[in-house]
Amino acid sequence: MAQEVPAEDAAFLATLSTRPREKKWALGIIAISALCFILAAPYAKLPLPKVWAFIPIYESALVTNDLITAALLFGQFKILGSRSLCVLACGYLFTACIAVVHALTFPGLFAPAGLLGAGPQTTAWLYMFWHGGFPLFVIAYAFLKSENGSWRASDKRPLNAAVCAAATILLVALFAVVASLGREALPAIMQGNHYTPVMSGIVGSVWLLSLISVVMLYLRRPHSVLDLWLGVVMCAWLFDIALSAVLNAGRFDLGFYAGRIYGLVAASGVLLVLLLENGRLYARLAEAHQSEHRKSSELAAVNKELEAFSYSVSHDLRAPLRAIDGFSKALLNRLGPHSDNSERHYLDRIRTAAQRMGALIDDLINLSRITRAPLRAEQVDMTKMSRDILAELADAEPARKVTCSVGEGLVVNADPHLLAVLLRNLLGNAWKYTSRNAEAMIELGVNRVDGTQVFYVKDNGVGFDMTHAKNLFTPFHRLHTDAEFPGTGIGLATVHRVVCRHSGSIRAEAEPARGATFHFALEKS
Protein backbone atom coordinates (compact mmCIF):
# COMPACT_ATOMS: atom_id res chain seq x y z
CA MET A 1 0.00 0.00 0.00
CA ALA A 2 1.32 3.44 -0.86
CA GLN A 3 2.48 5.62 1.96
CA GLU A 4 0.39 8.70 2.60
CA VAL A 5 2.25 11.89 1.85
CA PRO A 6 2.06 14.50 4.61
CA ALA A 7 -0.10 17.50 3.70
CA GLU A 8 2.77 19.94 4.22
CA ASP A 9 4.89 18.05 1.64
CA ALA A 10 2.15 17.62 -0.96
CA ALA A 11 3.02 20.91 -2.68
CA PHE A 12 6.33 19.60 -4.10
CA LEU A 13 6.87 17.90 -7.45
CA ALA A 14 8.70 15.07 -5.73
CA THR A 15 5.67 14.30 -3.55
CA LEU A 16 2.71 15.45 -5.63
CA SER A 17 0.82 12.57 -7.26
CA THR A 18 0.25 12.67 -11.00
CA ARG A 19 -3.19 13.57 -12.33
CA PRO A 20 -4.79 12.29 -15.54
CA ARG A 21 -4.37 15.67 -17.25
CA GLU A 22 -0.63 15.70 -16.57
CA LYS A 23 -0.28 12.15 -17.86
CA LYS A 24 -2.04 13.11 -21.08
CA TRP A 25 0.28 16.09 -21.54
CA ALA A 26 3.36 13.91 -20.95
CA LEU A 27 2.19 11.22 -23.38
CA GLY A 28 1.38 13.91 -25.95
CA ILE A 29 4.85 15.41 -25.71
CA ILE A 30 6.47 11.97 -26.01
CA ALA A 31 4.30 11.22 -29.05
CA ILE A 32 5.29 14.52 -30.74
CA SER A 33 8.96 13.87 -29.93
CA ALA A 34 8.71 10.36 -31.37
CA LEU A 35 7.05 11.68 -34.52
CA CYS A 36 9.82 14.29 -35.00
CA PHE A 37 12.40 11.56 -34.44
CA ILE A 38 10.78 9.29 -37.05
CA LEU A 39 10.75 12.13 -39.58
CA ALA A 40 14.38 13.09 -38.88
CA ALA A 41 15.88 9.59 -38.59
CA PRO A 42 16.09 8.81 -42.35
CA TYR A 43 18.02 12.05 -42.92
CA ALA A 44 20.31 11.76 -39.90
CA LYS A 45 23.43 11.33 -42.09
CA LEU A 46 22.62 14.32 -44.31
CA PRO A 47 25.69 16.65 -44.23
CA LEU A 48 25.03 20.23 -43.16
CA PRO A 49 27.25 23.33 -42.99
CA LYS A 50 29.60 23.67 -40.02
CA VAL A 51 28.02 26.26 -37.74
CA TRP A 52 30.73 26.75 -35.09
CA ALA A 53 28.60 29.14 -33.07
CA PHE A 54 26.03 26.36 -32.55
CA ILE A 55 28.22 24.44 -30.05
CA PRO A 56 28.89 27.29 -27.55
CA ILE A 57 25.29 28.56 -27.81
CA TYR A 58 23.82 25.09 -27.31
CA GLU A 59 26.13 24.11 -24.45
CA SER A 60 25.86 27.50 -22.69
CA ALA A 61 22.06 27.16 -22.69
CA LEU A 62 22.42 23.55 -21.52
CA VAL A 63 24.76 24.45 -18.67
CA THR A 64 22.48 27.29 -17.53
CA ASN A 65 19.39 25.04 -17.58
CA ASP A 66 21.10 22.21 -15.73
CA LEU A 67 22.65 24.44 -13.06
CA ILE A 68 19.29 26.09 -12.31
CA THR A 69 17.59 22.69 -12.21
CA ALA A 70 20.26 21.35 -9.86
CA ALA A 71 19.86 24.37 -7.55
CA LEU A 72 16.07 23.94 -7.41
CA LEU A 73 16.39 20.22 -6.69
CA PHE A 74 18.97 20.86 -3.96
CA GLY A 75 16.47 23.34 -2.49
CA GLN A 76 13.75 20.70 -2.42
CA PHE A 77 16.22 18.22 -0.92
CA LYS A 78 16.96 20.69 1.88
CA ILE A 79 13.24 20.97 2.65
CA LEU A 80 12.18 17.32 2.24
CA GLY A 81 15.41 15.55 3.18
CA SER A 82 14.97 12.91 0.47
CA ARG A 83 18.24 11.26 -0.58
CA SER A 84 16.79 10.53 -4.00
CA LEU A 85 16.37 14.27 -4.66
CA CYS A 86 19.98 14.89 -3.67
CA VAL A 87 21.16 12.22 -6.11
CA LEU A 88 19.04 13.66 -8.94
CA ALA A 89 20.33 17.17 -8.21
CA CYS A 90 23.88 15.81 -8.42
CA GLY A 91 22.96 14.26 -11.78
CA TYR A 92 22.00 17.65 -13.20
CA LEU A 93 25.13 19.20 -11.69
CA PHE A 94 27.12 16.42 -13.37
CA THR A 95 25.66 17.20 -16.81
CA ALA A 96 26.28 20.93 -16.38
CA CYS A 97 29.93 20.48 -15.39
CA ILE A 98 30.77 17.88 -18.02
CA ALA A 99 29.07 20.00 -20.71
CA VAL A 100 31.54 22.80 -19.86
CA VAL A 101 34.49 20.43 -20.25
CA HIS A 102 32.97 19.03 -23.45
CA ALA A 103 32.75 22.52 -24.99
CA LEU A 104 36.30 23.45 -23.96
CA THR A 105 37.76 20.30 -25.52
CA PHE A 106 35.69 20.40 -28.74
CA PRO A 107 38.24 20.34 -31.59
CA GLY A 108 38.38 23.51 -33.65
CA LEU A 109 36.14 25.55 -31.34
CA PHE A 110 38.68 27.27 -29.05
CA ALA A 111 41.83 25.53 -30.31
CA PRO A 112 42.57 23.19 -33.24
CA ALA A 113 42.70 20.11 -30.97
CA GLY A 114 40.66 21.59 -28.10
CA LEU A 115 41.75 22.93 -24.73
CA LEU A 116 42.76 21.08 -21.53
CA GLY A 117 45.24 18.87 -23.38
CA ALA A 118 42.51 17.30 -25.48
CA GLY A 119 43.12 14.91 -28.32
CA PRO A 120 41.04 13.64 -31.26
CA GLN A 121 39.08 11.21 -29.03
CA THR A 122 38.60 13.42 -25.94
CA THR A 123 35.34 15.15 -26.84
CA ALA A 124 33.70 11.95 -28.11
CA TRP A 125 34.58 10.05 -24.94
CA LEU A 126 33.36 12.92 -22.78
CA TYR A 127 30.06 12.69 -24.67
CA MET A 128 29.89 8.97 -23.78
CA PHE A 129 30.69 9.63 -20.11
CA TRP A 130 28.13 12.45 -20.10
CA HIS A 131 25.28 10.54 -21.73
CA GLY A 132 26.07 7.33 -19.88
CA GLY A 133 26.54 9.02 -16.48
CA PHE A 134 23.30 10.96 -16.21
CA PRO A 135 21.07 7.86 -16.69
CA LEU A 136 22.98 6.22 -13.82
CA PHE A 137 22.01 9.13 -11.56
CA VAL A 138 18.39 8.73 -12.70
CA ILE A 139 18.50 4.99 -11.99
CA ALA A 140 19.89 5.71 -8.51
CA TYR A 141 17.14 8.30 -7.96
CA ALA A 142 14.45 5.77 -8.95
CA PHE A 143 15.98 3.08 -6.74
CA LEU A 144 16.30 5.31 -3.65
CA LYS A 145 12.91 6.99 -3.90
CA SER A 146 10.85 3.83 -3.70
CA GLU A 147 10.75 0.77 -1.53
CA ASN A 148 8.17 -1.96 -2.07
CA GLY A 149 6.18 0.42 -4.22
CA SER A 150 5.82 3.03 -1.46
CA TRP A 151 7.26 6.50 -1.73
CA ARG A 152 9.64 7.61 0.99
CA ALA A 153 9.08 11.35 1.39
CA SER A 154 12.30 11.72 3.37
CA ASP A 155 14.67 8.86 4.01
CA LYS A 156 16.33 10.42 7.03
CA ARG A 157 19.79 8.98 6.53
CA PRO A 158 21.65 12.28 6.40
CA LEU A 159 23.38 13.51 3.25
CA ASN A 160 25.38 16.70 3.02
CA ALA A 161 24.48 18.50 -0.20
CA ALA A 162 27.82 20.36 -0.33
CA VAL A 163 29.79 17.13 0.03
CA CYS A 164 27.69 15.42 -2.65
CA ALA A 165 28.15 18.37 -5.01
CA ALA A 166 31.92 18.38 -4.42
CA ALA A 167 32.06 14.63 -5.09
CA THR A 168 30.14 15.16 -8.35
CA ILE A 169 32.57 17.84 -9.51
CA LEU A 170 35.51 15.56 -8.66
CA LEU A 171 33.87 12.80 -10.72
CA VAL A 172 33.65 15.16 -13.71
CA ALA A 173 37.30 16.12 -13.21
CA LEU A 174 38.22 12.42 -13.16
CA PHE A 175 36.38 11.80 -16.45
CA ALA A 176 38.11 14.85 -17.96
CA VAL A 177 41.53 13.51 -16.94
CA VAL A 178 40.74 10.03 -18.29
CA ALA A 179 39.44 11.42 -21.60
CA SER A 180 42.38 13.84 -22.02
CA LEU A 181 45.49 12.40 -20.39
CA GLY A 182 44.39 8.78 -20.56
CA ARG A 183 43.06 8.90 -24.12
CA GLU A 184 45.74 6.56 -25.40
CA ALA A 185 44.30 3.78 -23.23
CA LEU A 186 40.79 4.26 -24.64
CA PRO A 187 39.61 2.71 -27.93
CA ALA A 188 39.47 5.11 -30.88
CA ILE A 189 35.84 6.01 -31.60
CA MET A 190 36.43 9.02 -33.88
CA GLN A 191 38.33 9.33 -37.15
CA GLY A 192 38.27 13.00 -38.02
CA ASN A 193 34.62 14.03 -37.83
CA HIS A 194 33.33 10.49 -38.45
CA TYR A 195 32.77 7.45 -36.22
CA THR A 196 34.86 4.29 -36.15
CA PRO A 197 33.27 0.80 -36.06
CA VAL A 198 34.01 0.61 -32.28
CA MET A 199 31.64 3.52 -31.74
CA SER A 200 28.52 1.39 -32.40
CA GLY A 201 29.04 -0.94 -29.45
CA ILE A 202 29.95 1.84 -27.01
CA VAL A 203 27.11 4.17 -27.94
CA GLY A 204 24.72 1.21 -27.92
CA SER A 205 25.65 0.59 -24.26
CA VAL A 206 25.10 4.26 -23.44
CA TRP A 207 21.70 4.22 -25.17
CA LEU A 208 20.77 1.06 -23.24
CA LEU A 209 21.49 2.82 -19.91
CA SER A 210 18.99 5.54 -20.85
CA LEU A 211 16.40 2.90 -21.72
CA ILE A 212 16.97 1.18 -18.37
CA SER A 213 16.43 4.50 -16.58
CA VAL A 214 13.07 4.94 -18.32
CA VAL A 215 12.03 1.41 -17.32
CA MET A 216 13.14 1.99 -13.71
CA LEU A 217 11.14 5.20 -13.48
CA TYR A 218 8.08 3.37 -14.81
CA LEU A 219 8.41 0.41 -12.43
CA ARG A 220 8.95 2.44 -9.25
CA ARG A 221 5.44 3.39 -8.21
CA PRO A 222 3.51 5.40 -7.18
CA HIS A 223 4.68 8.07 -9.63
CA SER A 224 5.12 11.68 -8.58
CA VAL A 225 4.89 14.63 -10.96
CA LEU A 226 8.69 14.79 -10.93
CA ASP A 227 8.89 11.13 -11.97
CA LEU A 228 6.48 11.75 -14.84
CA TRP A 229 8.41 14.67 -16.35
CA LEU A 230 11.76 13.04 -15.68
CA GLY A 231 10.48 10.11 -17.73
CA VAL A 232 9.64 12.54 -20.57
CA VAL A 233 13.17 13.97 -20.31
CA MET A 234 14.75 10.51 -20.53
CA CYS A 235 12.64 9.63 -23.59
CA ALA A 236 13.96 12.77 -25.30
CA TRP A 237 17.42 11.74 -24.11
CA LEU A 238 16.97 8.43 -25.97
CA PHE A 239 16.10 10.31 -29.17
CA ASP A 240 19.09 12.62 -28.59
CA ILE A 241 21.58 9.74 -28.42
CA ALA A 242 19.97 7.90 -31.33
CA LEU A 243 20.12 10.90 -33.66
CA SER A 244 23.48 12.35 -32.62
CA ALA A 245 25.52 9.19 -32.06
CA VAL A 246 23.75 6.07 -33.46
CA LEU A 247 21.99 6.91 -36.74
CA ASN A 248 24.19 9.75 -37.97
CA ALA A 249 27.61 9.53 -39.62
CA GLY A 250 29.56 12.04 -37.55
CA ARG A 251 29.78 15.70 -36.66
CA PHE A 252 27.87 18.47 -38.43
CA ASP A 253 25.19 16.37 -40.07
CA LEU A 254 21.45 16.54 -39.50
CA GLY A 255 21.55 13.96 -36.70
CA PHE A 256 24.34 15.90 -34.96
CA TYR A 257 22.29 19.10 -34.82
CA ALA A 258 18.87 17.49 -34.26
CA GLY A 259 20.15 15.25 -31.46
CA ARG A 260 21.59 18.19 -29.56
CA ILE A 261 18.37 20.12 -29.95
CA TYR A 262 16.60 17.14 -28.39
CA GLY A 263 19.16 17.25 -25.57
CA LEU A 264 18.50 20.93 -24.94
CA VAL A 265 14.74 20.34 -24.91
CA ALA A 266 15.24 17.43 -22.52
CA ALA A 267 17.34 19.60 -20.20
CA SER A 268 14.65 22.28 -20.23
CA GLY A 269 11.75 19.93 -19.44
CA VAL A 270 12.23 19.42 -15.70
CA LEU A 271 13.45 23.01 -15.30
CA LEU A 272 10.27 24.37 -16.87
CA VAL A 273 8.07 22.26 -14.58
CA LEU A 274 10.13 23.24 -11.52
CA LEU A 275 9.86 26.93 -12.40
CA LEU A 276 6.10 26.62 -12.88
CA GLU A 277 5.90 24.85 -9.53
CA ASN A 278 7.95 27.59 -7.87
CA GLY A 279 5.56 30.13 -9.36
CA ARG A 280 2.58 28.29 -7.90
CA LEU A 281 4.31 27.97 -4.53
CA TYR A 282 5.11 31.68 -4.55
CA ALA A 283 1.45 32.45 -5.31
CA ARG A 284 0.39 30.20 -2.42
CA LEU A 285 2.95 31.89 -0.16
CA ALA A 286 1.65 35.34 -1.09
CA GLU A 287 -1.93 34.20 -0.45
CA ALA A 288 -0.93 32.64 2.88
CA HIS A 289 0.91 35.84 3.83
CA GLN A 290 -2.18 37.92 3.11
CA SER A 291 -4.31 35.49 5.07
CA GLU A 292 -1.90 35.63 8.02
CA HIS A 293 -1.89 39.43 7.81
CA ARG A 294 -5.68 39.45 8.01
CA LYS A 295 -5.62 37.02 10.92
CA SER A 296 -2.97 39.14 12.67
CA SER A 297 -5.14 42.22 12.27
CA GLU A 298 -8.14 40.35 13.65
CA LEU A 299 -6.02 39.00 16.52
CA ALA A 300 -4.75 42.51 17.30
CA ALA A 301 -8.35 43.73 17.43
CA VAL A 302 -9.30 40.86 19.75
CA ASN A 303 -6.30 41.63 21.99
CA LYS A 304 -7.42 45.26 22.23
CA GLU A 305 -10.86 44.06 23.24
CA LEU A 306 -9.29 41.78 25.85
CA GLU A 307 -7.22 44.63 27.19
CA ALA A 308 -10.35 46.77 27.41
CA PHE A 309 -12.13 43.91 29.15
CA SER A 310 -9.21 43.47 31.57
CA TYR A 311 -9.34 47.16 32.40
CA SER A 312 -13.09 46.90 32.93
CA VAL A 313 -12.65 43.89 35.20
CA SER A 314 -9.83 45.48 37.17
CA HIS A 315 -11.66 48.81 37.60
CA ASP A 316 -15.42 48.27 37.40
CA LEU A 317 -15.50 45.01 39.39
CA ARG A 318 -12.85 45.85 41.95
CA ALA A 319 -14.66 49.03 43.01
CA PRO A 320 -17.86 47.32 44.18
CA LEU A 321 -15.82 44.54 45.80
CA ARG A 322 -13.82 47.11 47.74
CA ALA A 323 -17.07 48.77 48.74
CA ILE A 324 -18.53 45.46 49.96
CA ASP A 325 -15.39 44.70 51.95
CA GLY A 326 -15.13 48.23 53.33
CA PHE A 327 -18.76 48.56 54.40
CA SER A 328 -18.67 45.08 55.93
CA LYS A 329 -15.64 46.10 57.98
CA ALA A 330 -17.41 49.32 58.98
CA LEU A 331 -20.45 47.34 60.13
CA LEU A 332 -18.23 45.02 62.17
CA ASN A 333 -16.68 48.01 63.89
CA ARG A 334 -20.10 49.52 64.65
CA LEU A 335 -21.49 46.30 66.09
CA GLY A 336 -19.01 46.42 68.91
CA PRO A 337 -17.79 43.58 71.13
CA HIS A 338 -21.23 42.78 72.59
CA SER A 339 -22.98 42.09 69.29
CA ASP A 340 -24.50 38.79 68.24
CA ASN A 341 -21.79 36.32 67.13
CA SER A 342 -23.87 35.16 64.20
CA GLU A 343 -23.96 38.70 62.83
CA ARG A 344 -20.19 39.02 63.08
CA HIS A 345 -19.84 35.56 61.45
CA TYR A 346 -21.98 36.58 58.47
CA LEU A 347 -20.06 39.80 57.96
CA ASP A 348 -16.74 37.92 58.18
CA ARG A 349 -17.94 35.54 55.51
CA ILE A 350 -18.97 38.46 53.28
CA ARG A 351 -15.52 40.04 53.69
CA THR A 352 -13.74 36.74 53.02
CA ALA A 353 -15.77 36.11 49.86
CA ALA A 354 -15.12 39.65 48.61
CA GLN A 355 -11.40 39.34 49.27
CA ARG A 356 -11.28 35.94 47.56
CA MET A 357 -13.13 37.36 44.55
CA GLY A 358 -10.63 40.19 44.38
CA ALA A 359 -7.71 37.74 44.51
CA LEU A 360 -9.33 35.64 41.78
CA ILE A 361 -9.74 38.69 39.54
CA ASP A 362 -6.09 39.63 40.11
CA ASP A 363 -4.94 36.12 39.20
CA LEU A 364 -7.05 36.06 36.04
CA ILE A 365 -5.67 39.43 34.93
CA ASN A 366 -2.10 38.24 35.58
CA LEU A 367 -2.78 35.07 33.57
CA SER A 368 -4.07 37.17 30.67
CA ARG A 369 -1.04 39.46 30.82
CA ILE A 370 1.35 36.53 30.76
CA THR A 371 -0.27 35.30 27.54
CA ARG A 372 -0.04 38.67 25.78
CA ALA A 373 3.22 40.07 27.12
CA PRO A 374 6.21 40.00 24.73
CA LEU A 375 8.89 37.46 25.62
CA ARG A 376 12.28 39.04 26.41
CA ALA A 377 14.68 36.21 27.16
CA GLU A 378 18.03 36.78 28.89
CA GLN A 379 20.42 34.94 31.18
CA VAL A 380 18.79 34.74 34.62
CA ASP A 381 20.37 33.60 37.89
CA MET A 382 17.66 31.21 39.03
CA THR A 383 19.56 30.37 42.21
CA LYS A 384 19.48 33.95 43.47
CA MET A 385 15.88 34.52 42.31
CA SER A 386 14.66 31.37 44.09
CA ARG A 387 16.49 32.18 47.33
CA ASP A 388 15.02 35.71 47.34
CA ILE A 389 11.48 34.31 46.92
CA LEU A 390 12.01 31.75 49.70
CA ALA A 391 13.39 34.48 51.96
CA GLU A 392 10.23 36.55 51.40
CA LEU A 393 8.07 33.53 52.27
CA ALA A 394 10.10 32.92 55.43
CA ASP A 395 9.81 36.58 56.48
CA ALA A 396 6.03 36.35 56.11
CA GLU A 397 5.90 33.29 58.44
CA PRO A 398 8.93 33.49 60.72
CA ALA A 399 7.58 30.86 63.11
CA ARG A 400 7.75 28.07 60.54
CA LYS A 401 10.71 25.69 60.32
CA VAL A 402 11.37 24.95 56.64
CA THR A 403 14.58 23.50 55.26
CA CYS A 404 15.16 25.07 51.84
CA SER A 405 17.75 23.72 49.39
CA VAL A 406 18.51 25.53 46.13
CA GLY A 407 21.13 24.21 43.73
CA GLU A 408 24.19 26.34 43.04
CA GLY A 409 24.82 27.97 39.66
CA LEU A 410 21.32 27.52 38.23
CA VAL A 411 21.32 29.80 35.20
CA VAL A 412 18.61 29.79 32.53
CA ASN A 413 17.85 31.76 29.40
CA ALA A 414 14.33 33.03 30.04
CA ASP A 415 12.16 36.08 30.50
CA PRO A 416 13.02 37.22 34.05
CA HIS A 417 9.53 38.55 34.82
CA LEU A 418 7.78 35.37 33.64
CA LEU A 419 10.36 33.17 35.38
CA ALA A 420 9.72 35.04 38.65
CA VAL A 421 5.98 34.40 38.23
CA LEU A 422 6.65 30.69 37.66
CA LEU A 423 8.94 30.35 40.68
CA ARG A 424 6.64 32.35 42.97
CA ASN A 425 3.80 29.98 42.15
CA LEU A 426 5.76 26.72 42.42
CA LEU A 427 7.73 27.70 45.53
CA GLY A 428 4.64 29.35 47.02
CA ASN A 429 2.65 26.16 46.53
CA ALA A 430 5.46 24.09 48.07
CA TRP A 431 5.51 26.48 51.04
CA LYS A 432 1.73 26.36 51.40
CA TYR A 433 1.32 22.59 51.10
CA THR A 434 4.09 21.85 53.63
CA SER A 435 2.49 24.10 56.27
CA ARG A 436 1.22 21.10 58.26
CA ASN A 437 4.68 19.52 58.50
CA ALA A 438 6.72 20.12 61.61
CA GLU A 439 9.90 19.69 59.55
CA ALA A 440 9.08 20.92 56.08
CA MET A 441 11.51 20.50 53.19
CA ILE A 442 11.62 22.37 49.86
CA GLU A 443 14.23 21.66 47.20
CA LEU A 444 14.96 23.26 43.82
CA GLY A 445 17.53 21.64 41.52
CA VAL A 446 18.28 20.56 37.96
CA ASN A 447 18.94 17.37 36.01
CA ARG A 448 20.35 16.98 32.50
CA VAL A 449 18.10 14.91 30.23
CA ASP A 450 19.36 14.42 26.65
CA GLY A 451 21.32 17.66 26.89
CA THR A 452 18.33 19.67 28.19
CA GLN A 453 18.14 21.30 31.61
CA VAL A 454 15.13 19.88 33.47
CA PHE A 455 14.52 21.81 36.70
CA TYR A 456 12.47 20.50 39.60
CA VAL A 457 10.73 21.86 42.69
CA LYS A 458 10.28 19.18 45.32
CA ASP A 459 8.53 19.25 48.70
CA ASN A 460 7.44 16.83 51.41
CA GLY A 461 3.97 18.30 51.82
CA VAL A 462 0.52 16.75 51.57
CA GLY A 463 0.98 15.67 47.94
CA PHE A 464 -1.98 14.44 45.92
CA ASP A 465 -3.36 11.39 44.16
CA MET A 466 -2.05 11.25 40.57
CA THR A 467 -5.31 9.69 39.37
CA HIS A 468 -6.97 13.08 39.89
CA ALA A 469 -4.18 15.12 38.31
CA LYS A 470 -5.12 15.02 34.60
CA ASN A 471 -6.51 18.57 34.83
CA LEU A 472 -3.82 19.79 37.20
CA PHE A 473 -2.85 22.76 34.99
CA THR A 474 -6.44 23.70 34.06
CA PRO A 475 -7.68 27.04 35.45
CA PHE A 476 -9.90 26.74 38.57
CA HIS A 477 -9.08 23.04 38.97
CA ARG A 478 -8.13 22.34 42.59
CA LEU A 479 -7.25 19.11 44.38
CA HIS A 480 -7.81 20.59 47.87
CA THR A 481 -10.65 22.60 49.36
CA ASP A 482 -10.39 26.16 50.64
CA ALA A 483 -10.87 24.84 54.14
CA GLU A 484 -7.71 22.74 53.75
CA PHE A 485 -5.57 25.19 51.78
CA PRO A 486 -6.80 28.55 50.42
CA GLY A 487 -6.28 29.36 46.75
CA THR A 488 -7.92 30.35 43.47
CA GLY A 489 -6.90 27.45 41.20
CA ILE A 490 -5.05 29.79 38.82
CA GLY A 491 -1.46 29.33 40.02
CA LEU A 492 -0.54 26.12 38.20
CA ALA A 493 -2.40 27.28 35.07
CA THR A 494 -0.18 30.36 35.15
CA VAL A 495 2.92 28.19 35.56
CA HIS A 496 1.87 26.08 32.58
CA ARG A 497 1.31 29.20 30.48
CA VAL A 498 4.81 30.52 31.33
CA VAL A 499 6.39 27.20 30.39
CA CYS A 500 4.48 27.13 27.08
CA ARG A 501 5.62 30.68 26.31
CA HIS A 502 9.19 29.35 26.52
CA SER A 503 8.34 26.34 24.28
CA GLY A 504 9.00 24.07 27.24
CA SER A 505 7.27 21.26 29.11
CA ILE A 506 6.13 20.54 32.65
CA ARG A 507 4.95 17.47 34.51
CA ALA A 508 4.19 16.53 38.10
CA GLU A 509 4.83 13.52 40.35
CA ALA A 510 3.17 13.11 43.72
CA GLU A 511 1.88 10.74 46.38
CA PRO A 512 -0.63 11.55 49.11
CA ALA A 513 1.13 12.60 52.34
CA ARG A 514 4.56 12.17 50.69
CA GLY A 515 4.91 15.42 48.80
CA ALA A 516 5.05 16.50 45.19
CA THR A 517 7.70 17.20 42.56
CA PHE A 518 7.22 19.46 39.54
CA HIS A 519 9.67 18.97 36.66
CA PHE A 520 9.89 21.71 34.03
CA ALA A 521 12.13 22.50 31.08
CA LEU A 522 12.41 25.82 29.28
CA GLU A 523 13.48 24.94 25.72
CA LYS A 524 14.72 28.45 24.98
CA SER A 525 17.32 27.87 27.67
Largest CA distance in the chain: 129
* The predicted structure's pLDDT at residue 161: 87
Q: Which domains, and CATH codes, for the chain?
A: 49-291 (1.20.1070), 317-372 (no CATH), 375-521 (3.30.565.10)
* pLDDT tens track for 121-133: 898 899 999 999 9
Residues 430, 393: contact at Cβ < 8 Å?
no
* pLDDT tens track for 449-491: 888 899 999 999 999 888 877 788 887 777 777 778 887 777 8
Residue 75, classified by CB atoms within 10 Å of its CB into exposed (0-12), middle (13-18) or buried (19+), is: middle
Q: Whole-number mean pLDDT of the chain?
A: 83
Residues 217, 230: contact at Cβ < 8 Å?
yes
Residues 385, 427: contact at Cβ < 8 Å?
no
**Lowest mean pLDDT segment, chosen from 26-30, 211-215, 432-436:** 26-30
Average pLDDT estimate for 377-402: 92
* pLDDT tens track for 1-18: 334 444 444 457 777 778
Main-chain phi, psi angles of 457, to 5 degrees: -120, 120
Strand pairing report for 402-406 and 440-449:
parallel
For residues 327 and 71, which has the higher predicted lDDT (pLDDT)? 71
Residue 433, classified by CB atoms within 10 Å of its CB into exposed (0-12), middle (13-18) or buried (19+), is: buried
* The predicted structure's pLDDT at residue 138: 94
CA-closest candidate to residue 240, choices 266, 217, 272, 270: 266
CA separation, residue 366 to residues 82, 415, 504 (Å): 47, 15, 20
| 246, amino acid identity | V
* The predicted structure's pLDDT at residue 209: 93
What helix, strand, coil percent values describe the chain, rounded to 5? 60, 10, 25
* pLDDT tens track for 242-272: 888 888 888 888 888 888 887 787 777 777 7
> Does the pTM exceed 0.85?
no
* The predicted structure's pLDDT at residue 100: 93
